[in-house]
């Protein structure tokens, strides 16, 4: 085991995988957030809008479950998306407790531009790596995450 824990305490923390992956994640988050800010969206708004687009008319509780977001936050995020004309809430006739949330055509176009922007931001993130190394990084991260 390592001696001299005190003098190297911070260095030890910063040598841990959890610290390094946290730093890279922060950088990636920042890059993507700045990119899609060009479309006036924040990261959680983008995620909710994408989930709405993917799962068609969907209840908010489903979004909560699929995204792992808090129900309250989904309410506020959808308020914003609706105000921006990107998504629509309509009552579900089959279950009057539910809202059937849909993406608008404007929202779909915004989503396509965001996909492009996010992809470019990720290219910038992985710029120091070759294509093969980028795939390898993804493969390793995938195995860690699935565990």
Residues that bind a copy of itself (CB under 8 A): 1-2, 5-13, 16-18, 20-29, 31-32, 46-47, 49-51, 53-55, 66, 103, 108, 111-112, 115-116, 118-119, 121-122, 125-129, 133-134, 136-138, 140-147
Beta strand spans in the chain (E) = 87-91, 99-103
Q: Does 72 bind DNA (CB under 7 A)?
A: yes
Residue 126 partner contact from DNA, a copy of itself, none using kind-dependent CB cut-offs of 5 to 8 Å = a copy of itself
Nearest to a copy of itself of 92, 124 (CB atom)? 124
Question: 139, exposed or middle or buried, with CB in 10 Å at 0-12, 13-18, 19+?
Answer: exposed
Q: Name the segment binding DNA (CB under 7 A); options: 4-12, 60-68, 113-121, 125-133.
A: 60-68
Question: Does 3 contact DNA by CB under 7 A?
Answer: no
Q: Which whole-number Å values give the CA distances from 30 to 35, 139, 145, in the listed order?
A: 8, 22, 21
Sign of CA dihedral 42, 45, 49, 54: positive
């Amino acid at each position: 085991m390592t001696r001299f824990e005190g003098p190297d305490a911070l260095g030890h923390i910063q040598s841990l995988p959890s610290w390094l992956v946290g730093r890279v994640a922060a950088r990636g988050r920042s890059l993507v957030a700045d990119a899609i800010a060009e479309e006036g969206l924040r990261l959680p708004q983008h995620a909710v809008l994408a989930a709405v687009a993917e799962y068609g008319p969907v209840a908010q509780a489903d979004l909560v479950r699929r995204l792992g977001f808090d129900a309250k936050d989904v309410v506020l995020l959808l308020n914003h998306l609706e105000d921006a004309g990107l998504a629509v809430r309509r009552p579900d006739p089959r279950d009057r407790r539910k809202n059937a949330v849909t993406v608008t055509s404007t929202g779909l176009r915004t989503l396509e531009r965001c996909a492009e922007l996010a992809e470019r931001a990720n290219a910038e993130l992985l710029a120091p790596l070759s294509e093969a190394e980028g795939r390898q990084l993804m493969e390793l991260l995938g195995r860690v995450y699935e565990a």
